[in-house]
Amino acid sequence: MSPAPRPLGRVLLTGVPGWLTTAMLDSLRDQPPHGLTAVRCMVQPDFLPAARERPVQLPVPVEYVAADLRDDGSLAEAAKGVDTIFHAAGILHVRRTRDWYNINTAGTRRLLDGALAGGVTRFVNVSSNAAAGRSDSRERLLTEDDPPMPLSHYGRSKWLAEELLNAAADQIEVVNLRPCMFYGPPVPTRHVEIYKRIIHGKMPLVGSGDYARSLSHIDNLVQGCRLAMSHPAAKGETYYLSDRRTYTTKKVVEAMAAACGVAPRYLRLPAIVGPIAFAGDITLAAMQLYWQTLHLVGESHWHVGVSCEKAVRELGYDPKVEIDEGMKGAVEWCRRQGLLN
């Protein structure tokens, strides 16, 4: 018999509006979880008026508060009177590498301080598979038992946030989640641009494209996040949340092209481009600089397959969506929004 779910009580969502939090709010509306009594959405101050003009409709009270991960006082206010924190706010691409640490690491510490002062009982942190680094082969999938070896400042900033939360595990229930590359609606602008490139141009392909890639479809990810907030067994644990099957770089491009109704066209690059770009990325990072294109090419030769079996075994995680169906749904959403016309 499965244990009774933990009542969520009053939930704080950070990172609203965002790709994941928008989908999470839709899920809370359509399938309210056990014991949910209210939702507080933490929004960047500049976005607060727009968020309040288009409030989400939930079967429980919803409020919007302005807060910034760089501001202790606003975070303390946001966490006050909350039972559960779902922390999805953070920064992925930056101008200076120190921004990752100030927002992803120190910002999480500031929010944790507010949570401890406010009596929050569970803190669910959306980290990243980048916190663990890469695998040494396509066949060997990373698991939660592997020692983290982040290879980027972004990954390290996420890993350090995990560590500071784990250090507070005697004061608050902590759950760290490591999703992989997200896909699915609502589709972010950077993914729309990739679909446009596939339709009208060529996708860069380093080497054979036979590198392991784990992805996280939005429906699978939201399911796992809800389990992390409510399942008693999640307390104090770390979980990879991904599609059940591991793909390859080439398979990802093929699935996107099929969803767009075109044949995949490649700009083929020799395999050595990946290590050269990675060396350049490290050199720039030493100067506190970041170039997104160089960074992404520098990861193109990595195997980043992960196993989600721990979440399946302990939480009942059941990722049903796979890449062909998921990419088709994402492209159809883009077309309905007029984004690919």
Contact between 243 and 220 under an 8 Å Cβ cutoff? The reply is yes
Give the CA angle between residues 126, 306, 179 to the nearest 5°. Answer: 15
The pLDDT of residue 273: 81
Comparing 284 with 9, which gets the higher pLDDT? 9
**41 φ, ψ (degrees, to nearest 5):** -100, 120
Whether 291 has a pLDDT exceeding 70, the answer reads: no
Determine the pLDDT at residue 265: 94
Mean pLDDT of the region 316-321:
98
- Collect all residues with Cβ–Cβ distance below 8 Å to 136 and sequence separation of at least 6: 303
| Residue in 219, 130, 134, 139 with CA at minimum distance from that of residue 181 | 130
Closest by CA position to 151, among listed 136, 166, 167: 136
Average pLDDT of the chain is 93
Per residue in 11-69, pLDDT (tens digit) is: 999 999 999 999 999 999 999 998 999 999 999 999 888 888 878 889 999 999 999 99
Q: Is the dihedral of CA 289, 216, 43, 163 positive or negative?
A: negative
* Peptide bond just before 186 cis, omega within 30 deg: yes
**Distance from C-alpha of 102 to C-alpha of 145, rounded to nearest angstrom:** 28
What tokens appear for 69 in the block?
């991960």
Give Cα 142 distance to the centre of its chain: 17
Of 238, 37, 16, residue with least CA distance to 142: 238
Confidence of residue 294 (pLDDT cuts 50, 70, 90): low
User: Does 247 score more than 60 pLDDT?
Assistant: yes
DSSP-derived secondary structure letter, 305: -
Judged against a pLDDT cut of 90, whether residue 299 lies above it is answered with no
CA 299 and chain centroid, separation: 17
Per-residue model confidence as pLDDT tens digits over 253-272: 999 999 999 999 998 888 78
Predicted local distance difference test score (pLDDT) of residue 51 = 83
Amino acid at position 210, single letter: D
**pLDDT surpasses 90 at 293:** no
> Is the confidence at residue 110, as pLDDT, over 70?
yes
pLDDT tens per residue across span 305-315? 999 999 999 99
* CB neighbourhood size of 296 (10 A): 13
Sequential DSSP letters for 177-200: EEE-EEESSSPPHHHHHHHHHHHH
Peptide bond into 17 cis (omega under 30): yes
What are 259's two structure tokens?
């969803």
Q: What is the pTM of this model?
A: 0.94
| CA dihedral of residues 200, 202, 203, 205 (deg, nearest 10) | 170
SS3 at position 123: strand
